[in-house]
Amino acid sequence: MPADLQIDQLNEATPLLQLLHVSISPQKTPTRLLVNNVSFSIDAGKTTCVVGESGSGKSLTALSIMGLLSKQLQLNTGKVLFNDANDGVQDLTMLNEASLQKIRGAKIAMIFQEPMTSLNPVLTVGYQIGESLTTHLGFKGERLKAKIASLLEMVGIPPNRANSYPDELSGGQRQRVMIAMSIACEPRLLIADEPTTALDVTVQAQILKLLDDLKTRMNMGMLFITHDFGVVADIADHVVVMFRGEIVESGTKAQVLGNPQHPYTKALLACVPDAEGKKALKPIDYAWLKQEQVA
Amino acid sequence: MVEAGASGVSDIILQANGLVKTYTQRSGKFGFGTTLVKALDNVSITLRAGTTLAVVGESGSGKSTLARCLLQLQPLDSGEVIFAGQDLSKLDASALRTVRRNLQMVFQDPFASLNPRMRVGEIVGEGLLIHGLGSTFERQKKVIAMLKRVGLTEADMQKYPHEFSGGQRQRIGIARALVLEPKVVVCDEPVSALDVSIQAQILLLLKALQQEMALSYIFISHDLRVVRHIADDIVVMYQGRVVEQGEVTDIYEQPQHEYTQNLLAAIPGKRMAQASGLA
């Protein structure tokens, strides 16, 4: 598998996060693999985009990193190696819940797709941003308040909105709050699961730029999940293409976008509408894909 | 298809003049005060027969309100909507119902717009039933033909919406709208909830059906990439007003208004072409 080859090369540079041969299945039917032998890595200060359609296993892969898989699912095989500056390389799949809890939010943070449903409606956004600061870093009182204000400012929300409730904010602002929450403890790795899918194009552009800036400024690694190659072109360094639970292609952005090898990658690229309107839209022909894969 | 530029009076199928719609919004302490929000501020649009008019803008720009007001799903404060020589805003409920057969809508959220307790056959056939078109047998035949045309099967009639994926549900929504053989279909963000790959399927389906059934579309969207592929004319809305309108190529190549320029600049994947050029 070419994906493996690449991991070996990257090994020398010890990436921030390495997924090795991760497979996920329902607990009742261990042979039905929802994610099959997935390996890729994320470097500090770089963005790896996982691209695929719904059902391709991209979100499950992300959840498995944090140990957040639903109870009906299990990690069949695989390692998730997290390279932490202090603790050295740890296999996250081997950690117990308490140790994972210390990593979640502090060293690895996640942004979810739906800014409408992932915030608690009865708590102010300031409180929600401060929660992880108190839990992980013991921030309190004035110091906490000042930190919340600076985080809000960082994501482009007036600091006085700390006392607002989520329903008082627009979709884009809520996603900014989610981002402020996730970067509060300055995580080493940020996992963003379709963070802009629910947003308008103009707001999406702002959020993508914000994430890209923060990534550079804080030297975070970012795992960015999307189904839209247009977004990939804007934000990715590395690209991993998933189809039905497997990686069909991976490489740098220039390789995957410029010279796609796998028929599925080509098909997925062909169904993105281009702004010039020159290219005809071509939906994915799955029957043809199947033949192509067998051949 | 109508030739671009040949916009004689006879070509116009739907026209809206000076639409105004104001909402009151609670404000101030405990919501005791009210402020007026102009969702539509003197909006006029013209839809040419057999073409697609895209209405673009961000959330809150009034584009969905426009869609609902055109179909009289919401009452207008003032303005007129002319279809087939009648002003829809002056019609009473029963006259409106008759006209609505020709004016259908495809909704944004395929998960929320189908009744979960009705079978697909009932959902698609309901319009025919309401308008009293054909016998039970004829209605069923029509529903089956329509389902097949949008890429579903006869067996799907007996299923419930939750048994389908997002893309399939949107096909059901399209079948429901088109089974009445309408003249005008208002599509309110029909693909924004779908994956890019499914989006392409649905867009091509809408395009093919437009040709076959001589439909005119009003296509509401915030995604200018999508609009480029389906629209003939574009109306750009911002804060309840039309800030720019014209033919699709003109708007894309020479956007006049600053807001249109911003919208175009926000299209993701502008670097896609460049990245492709690298290798």
B147-175 pLDDT per residue, tens:
999 999 999 999 999 999 888 999 999 99
Rg over alpha carbons for chain B, rounded to the nearest Å, is 20
Q: What is the pLDDT of residues B243-260, one digit of tens each?
A: 999 999 999 999 999 999
Residues of chain B in contact with residue A229, where contact means CB-CB under 8 angstroms, are 196, 269, 272
Task: Report yes or no: A178 and A120 within 8 Å, Cβ to Cβ.
Answer: no
Bridge partners of A89, per DSSP, are A83
d(CA B161, CA B271): 38
By Cβ distance, the residue of A257, A271, A276 closest to B200 is A271
Rounded to the nearest angstrom, the minimum Cα separation between A98 and chain B is 36
pLDDT at B273: 56
Q: Which residue of A has its CA nearest to B267?
A: A201
* Residue among B60, B199, B228 minimizing CB distance to A275: B228
Q: Is B266 on the interface with A (CB under 8 A)?
A: yes
Cβ-defined contact of B195 to A54 (cutoff 8 Å): yes
CB atoms within 10 A of CB A285: 12
Smallest Cα distance from B194 to chain A, Å: 9
- All residues of chain A having their beta carbon less than 8 Å from the beta carbon of residue B224 are 201, 275
| Angstroms from A173 CA to nearest CA on chain B | 13
Amino acid sitting at position B91: L
Strands A246-252 and A73-84: unpaired
CA distance B154 to B237: 41
- Which residue from B225, B277, B278 is facing A275, i.e. has the nearest CB? B225
- For A40, the enclosing helix (H) or strand (E) is strand A35-42
| Any B CB within 8 A of A116 CB | no
Residues of chain B whose pLDDT is less than 50? 1-9, 277-279
User: What is d(CA A77, CA A66) in angstroms, rounded to the nearest whole number?
Assistant: 15
Taking CA atoms, A246 is separated from A23, A36, A39, A51, A164, in Å, by: 9, 5, 9, 11, 43
The encoded tokens of residue B100 equal: 């609505």
pTM of the model: 0.81
User: What is the distance in angstroms between the Cα of B101 and the nearest Cα belonging to chain A?
Assistant: 31
**Chain A interface includes B59 (CB < 8 A):** yes
Inform me whether the C-beta atom of residue B208 falls under 8 Å from chain A C-beta atoms: no
Residue A147 near residue A230, CB atoms below 8 Å = no
pLDDT 10s digits, A267-282:
999 888 877 767 777 8
Q: Does B268 touch chain A (CB under 8 A)?
A: yes
Report the 10 Å Cβ neighbour count for B140: 16
Question: Which residues on A lie below 8 Å from B58 (Cβ)?
Answer: 200-203
The pair phi, psi for residue A36, each rounded to 5°, is -120, 110
| Residues on chain B touching A205 (C-beta within 8 angstroms) | 265-266, 268
Answer whether B222 sits within 8 Å of A282, measured CB to CB: no
Enter the tokens of residue B14: 């739907």
Q: Order of strands, edge to edge, in the sheet holding A238-243? A: A108-111, A189-193, A221-226, A47-51, A238-243, A246-252
Distance CA B54, CA B67 (A): 11
The CA-based diameter of chain A, rounded to the nearest angstrom, is 65
Inform me whether the C-beta atom of residue A233 falls under 8 Å from chain B C-beta atoms.
Answer: yes
Interface check A201 vs B, CB under 8 A: yes
Q: Count Cβ neighbours within 10 Å for each residue of A213-230 and write b for 16 or more, e otherwise.
A: ebbeeeebbbbbbbbbbb
Full DSSP string of A173-241 = HHHHHHHHHHHTT--SEEEEESTTTTS-HHHHHHHHHHHHHHHHHHT-EEEEEES-HHHHHHH-SEEEE
Task: State whether the Cα torsion B169-B174-B177-B179 is positive or negative.
Answer: negative
Task: State the CB neighbour count (10 A cutoff) for residue B86.
Answer: 14
Question: Could you give the CA distance from residue B252 to residue B234 in angstroms, rounded to a whole number?
Answer: 10
Residues of A in contact with B165 (CB under 8 A): 54
CA–CA separation, B101 vs B99, rounded Å? 5
Give residue B109's pLDDT: 81
B172 touches chain A (CB under 8 A): no
Residue B171 DSSP label = H
Q: Is A118 on the interface with B (CB under 8 A)?
A: no
Is residue A129 within 8 A of residue A151, CB to CB? The reply is yes
- One-letter amino acid identity for A280? A
Q: A226: nearest CA in chain B? A: B195
The predicted structure's pLDDT at residue B49: 94
Query: What is the per-residue pLDDT for B9?
Result: 47
For chain B, say whether A203 makes contact (Cβ under 8 Å).
yes
Q: Pick from B58, B199, B226: which is nearest to A202 by CB?
A: B58
Name the DSSP letter for residue A77: E
**Which residue, chain included where needed, has tokens 């390495």?**
A18
Q: Does B228 contact A at CB distance below 8 Å?
A: yes
Residue with structure tokens 């080859």? Answer: A5
Q: How many CB atoms lie within 10 A of CB A160?
A: 10
If you measure CA to CA, which chain B residue comes closest to A209? B266
The three-class DSSP label of residue A76 is: strand
- On chain A, the residues whose CB falls within 8 A of the CB of B254 are none
Residue A222: what pLDDT? 96
Q: In angstroms, what CA-CA distances link A212 with A107, A169, B181, B201?
A: 18, 23, 48, 31
Complex ipTM > 0.85: no
Per-residue pLDDT of chain A (295 residues), as tens digits, is 444 444 444 444 689 999 999 999 999 999 999 999 999 999 999 999 999 988 899 999 999 999 999 889 999 999 999 998 777 888 999 999 999 998 998 999 999 877 778 899 999 999 999 999 999 999 999 999 999 999 999 888 899 889 999 988 888 888 899 999 999 999 999 999 988 887 788 888 888 999 999 999 999 999 999 998 989 999 999 999 999 999 999 999 999 999 999 999 999 998 888 777 677 778 887 777 776 665 5
Edge-to-edge strand order for the sheet containing A17-26? A35-42, A17-26, A73-84, A88-91
**Contact assignment for B275 to A283 by CB distance below 8 Å:** no
As a three-state string, the secondary structure of A267-290 is HHHHCCCCCCCCCCCCCCCHHHHH
Residue B61 burial (CB count, 10 A): 23
Interface of A with B in 53-92 (CB under 8 A): 53-54
* pLDDT score, position B29: 63
Contact flag B248-A208 (C-beta cutoff 8 Å): no
Which candidate in A200, A226, A238, A259 is best for mutational testing of the B interface (most B CBs within 10 A)? Answer: A200
